């Protein structure tokens, strides 16, 4: 399949871009810079760009029914109001000091699912995947993770995908949209470092899983049976997460870690966009109690 190459739309120099989320009501894409603690908004129609600075790292976030944004700081979840630019405590996780909240997404159950990453030198599997309810209740759903990533759900809401970038693997579960119960865990794909370790992911309506291939300048597209069927070339080494927006795919990225690589890949950390012929599964809004 021949595709148009991803094109830079915002040279925002994210340390690690994360959680691109399409707001179909406003016609805007939200995304964040994890180490920079910044929340960004991009309007493709006008190219308007807006950024908000938060006081800590910003692992991920969710758009809410109330219009607020649920944001993940290191180990706490806060409600952010973009109009008043105020933060209110919402929930807390208890993790090792080296762990922080990472990839997160609203599931078909209206709850926020978010995992943690161990940033310590030991790299031990001390992370978790949590389900956070609109009442602020936090439930551990999966244990033993090194770098929780890649959350996505099929169009019928009955299958959840999740990856561990340092596994490196992608698993899926049967999912109950009414209760948020997960079961029947199974391996979807083992992904080698040479193929691109599985970072953030998204599902299209045909059941294909699009995974950012960390370190290998690609977006990997997997068929519903787990076969790797396509590689979309990226102009940066570290794509971090794809997100569908109608007939477009947005892709966040990360700055290379060393100066030589940054000179070689000057667009690292930017936001990219490419046309696609298939629609994505929409990401829901967090059913917060004010919504």
How far is 10 from 232, CA to CA, in rounded Å?
19
271 and 42 in contact (C-beta within 8 Å)?
A: yes
pLDDT value at residue 29: 98
DSSP character at residue 119: -
pLDDT value at residue 268: 96
pTM: 0.97
Query: Per-residue confidence at 290, pLDDT binned at 50, 70, 90?
Result: low
> Over the stretch 88-123, which tens digit does the pLDDT of each residue have?
999 999 999 999 999 999 999 999 999 999 999 888
- Terminal alpha carbon distance of the chain: 42
Is the domain spanning 7-275 CATH 2.120.10.30? The answer is yes
How far is 190 from 88, CA to CA, in rounded Å?
40
Q: Provide mean pLDDT across the span 40-45.
A: 98
pLDDT value at residue 2: 56
Check whether 83 has a pLDDT greater than 90.
Answer: yes
pLDDT value at residue 129: 98
Q: Provide mean pLDDT across the span 178-197.
A: 96
pLDDT value at residue 135: 95
Measuring CA to CA, which residue among 98, 95, 102 is closest to residue 122? Answer: 98
Residue-wise over 49-76: b if at least 16 C-beta within 10 A, else e? Answer: eeebebeebbbbbbbbebebbbbbbbbe
Q: Provide mean pLDDT across the span 185-210.
A: 97
> Over the stretch 132-175, which tens digit does the pLDDT of each residue have?
999 999 999 999 999 999 999 999 999 999 999 999 999 999 99
Q: Is the peptide bond before 168 cis (omega within 30 degrees of 0)?
A: yes
Measuring CA to CA, which residue among 204, 201, 206, 207 is closest to residue 219? Answer: 201
Task: Report the chain's mean pLDDT, rounded to a whole number.
Answer: 96
Check whether 291 has a pLDDT greater than 70.
Answer: no
Q: What percent of the chain has pLDDT over 90?
A: 94
β-strand pairing of 271-275 with 7-10: antiparallel
């Amino acid at each position: 399949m021949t595709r148009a190459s991803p094109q830079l739309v915002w040279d925002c120099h994210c340390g690690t871009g994360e959680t691109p989320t399409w707001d179909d009501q406003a016609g805007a894409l939200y995304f964040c810079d994890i180490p920079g603690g910044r929340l960004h908004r991009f309007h493709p129609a006008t190219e308007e760009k807006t950024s908000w600075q938060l006081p800590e790292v910003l692992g991920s976030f969710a758009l809410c029914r109330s219009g607020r944004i649920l944001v993940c700081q290191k180990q706490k979840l806060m409600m952010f109001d973009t109009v008043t630019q105020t933060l209110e405590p919402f929930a807390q996780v208890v993790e090792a000091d080296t762990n922080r909240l990472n990839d997160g997404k609203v599931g078909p159950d209206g709850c926020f699912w978010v995992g943690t990453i161990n940033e310590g030198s030991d790299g031990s599997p001390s992370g978790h995947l949590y389900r956070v309810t609109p009442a602020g209740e936090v439930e551990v759903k999966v244990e033993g993770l090194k770098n929780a990533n890649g959350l996505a759900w099929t169009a019928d809401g009955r299958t959840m995908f999740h990856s561990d970038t340092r596994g490196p693997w992608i698993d899926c579960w049967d999912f109950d949209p009414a209760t948020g119960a997960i079961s029947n865990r199974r391996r979807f794909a083992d992904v080698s470092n040479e193929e691109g370790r599985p970072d953030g992911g998204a599902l299209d309506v045909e059941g294909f899983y699009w995974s950012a291939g960390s370190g290998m300048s690609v977006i990997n597209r997997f068929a519903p049976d787990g076969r790797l069927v396509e590689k979309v070339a990226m102009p940066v080494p570290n794509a971090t997460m794809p997100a569908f927006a109608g007939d477009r795919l947005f892709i966040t990225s990360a700055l290379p870690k060393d100066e030589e690589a940054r000179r070689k890949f000057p667009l690292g950390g930017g936001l990219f966009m490419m046309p696609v012929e298939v629609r994505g599964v929409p990401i829901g809004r967090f059913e917060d109690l004010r919504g």
